[in-house]
Amino acid sequence: MNRGDIARAAEVFRERFPHFIRRTPLWKLPGSALGVDCREVWLKLEHLQTGGSFKARGMLYRLLSNPIPESGVIVASGGNAGIATAAAARELGVHCEVFVPTVSSPAKQARLRELGAQVVVTGSVYAEALEACLARQQQTGALLTHAYDQPEVVTGAGTLACEIEEQGGAVPDAVLVSVGGGGLIGGVAAWFEQRSRVVALEPELAPTLYRAREAGAPVDVAVSGIAADSLGAKRIGALSWAITQRFVPQALLLPDDAIRQAQLGLWKEMKLAVEPAAALPLAALQSGLYRPAKDETVALIVCGANLDPATLG
């Protein structure tokens, strides 16, 4: 995929589904407003997207790009990709079956059912839910929507980066991106290429890209911790591995306590109710793990809001 593919996907969204794929706000703040010594911080508020996360972009584009059989669509997810697929399926009037692991939050499971999806809870982690999902897909012939490792899914995610550039009126110096299976960073990096410094951020307890770089190839890793329901893939996706090898110079790890502190800060100081995965970019800045230059503009992708609000108390 390339910038042309992403631009075409963005055009489809604008022309046919502007009510479904929202042009989410870009909030520009001086770095000092967030306690960061840089010129400006842009928050891409993608948690306000349909389904509560960036996943809506890739899931809808996957469904639009393929014939959908009578058995509908099927997906395995920690929650957000399932919610996005269920929302896209409802938009198009097709059946949706979602396999989620037990680590998936009750709030996400409830939202899936509200969207009309058939929910199967199985396995302790995403990889086990995916295995069950693939076996079921062989039985039903439903269109498989992968949470992060299909060209249409990564291309759809890249439309978010296209919006950042349009709304910002320029390319930011750096873009900080949370990584699970890699669909989001794959799309973002494919759009910006090397025109902006794209930085990968992962929890210490879910280091799929970081460990792949150590090994020189994608490898399975154990995943756990505060963001496991969103960033719980045990292996970086093949597509995003190839893209990040070309366009992402840094992969950084964050401890759970820094992620939690940033999540609570986004709520208490800015009234942004987001899940832990969405807080990694701010955590990287405020912990000093990523240190911008004084004249730098840094974009943070606030990627999801599917959480139990009681956890912010």
Contact (Cβ atoms closer than 8 angstroms) between residue 229 and residue 104: yes
The type of residue at 279 is A
pLDDT on residue 230: 79
Q: What's the pLDDT tens digit per position in 279-303?
A: 999 999 999 999 999 999 999 999 9
Q: What's the pLDDT tens digit per position in 19-45?
A: 999 999 999 999 999 999 999 999 999
pLDDT on residue 105: 81
Q: Is the dihedral of CA 160, 23, 168, 27 positive or negative?
A: negative
pLDDT of residue 313 exceeding 80: no
CA atoms within 13 A on the CB side of 132: 18
pLDDT on residue 124: 87
Calculate what percentage of the chain has a pLDDT beyond 90. Answer: 85
Mean per-residue pLDDT for 60-84? 94
pLDDT on residue 233: 83
Q: What's the pLDDT tens digit per position in 227-257?
A: 877 787 889 999 999 999 999 999 999 999 9
pLDDT on residue 125: 82
pLDDT of residue 95 exceeding 90: yes
- Find all residues with CB under 8 Å of 16, minimum gap 6, and list them: none
pLDDT on residue 309: 83
Which residue shows structure tokens 């609000």? 309
- Find all residues with CB under 8 Å of 53, minimum gap 6, and list them: 46, 47, 80, 83, 84, 303, 304, 305, 306
Q: What is the DSSP letter of 195?
A: S
In angstroms, the CA 166 to CA 174 distance is 15
Q: What is the DSSP letter of 227?
A: T
Helix axes 151-168, 55-64, angle to 10 degrees: 130
- β-pairing verdict for 40-45 and 297-302: parallel
pLDDT of residue 132 exceeding 90: yes
Q: What's the pLDDT tens digit per position in 134-164?
A: 999 999 999 999 989 999 999 999 999 999 9
In angstroms, the CA 121 to CA 102 distance is 6
Contact (Cβ atoms closer than 8 angstroms) between residue 282 and residue 289: no
Task: Tell me how long the chain is.
Answer: 313
pLDDT on residue 151: 97
pLDDT on residue 156: 98
Q: For residue 151, how many other CB atoms are within 10 A of its CB?
A: 15
Alpha helical stretches, state H, the chain: 3-16, 55-64, 80-92, 106-114, 126-140, 151-168, 183-192, 208-215, 238-247, 256-270, 276-286
Q: Which of 183, 190, 229, 188 is nearest to 206 (CA)?
A: 229
Mean per-residue pLDDT for 260-270? 95
pLDDT on residue 161: 98
pLDDT on residue 259: 96
- Coil vs helix vs strand at 156: helix
pLDDT on residue 163: 98
Which residue shows structure tokens 């110079």? 249
Write the CA distances from 225 to 206, 228, 232, 289, integer angstroms: 7, 6, 9, 19
131 band by pLDDT with thresholds 50, 70 and 90: very high
**Burial (CB count within 10 angstroms: exposed 0-12, middle 13-18, buried 19+), residue 94:** middle
Q: What's the pLDDT tens digit per position in 193-217?
A: 999 999 999 999 999 999 999 999 9
Domains of the chain in start order, with CATH, are 3-54+154-312 (3.40.50.1100), 55-144 (3.40.50.1100)
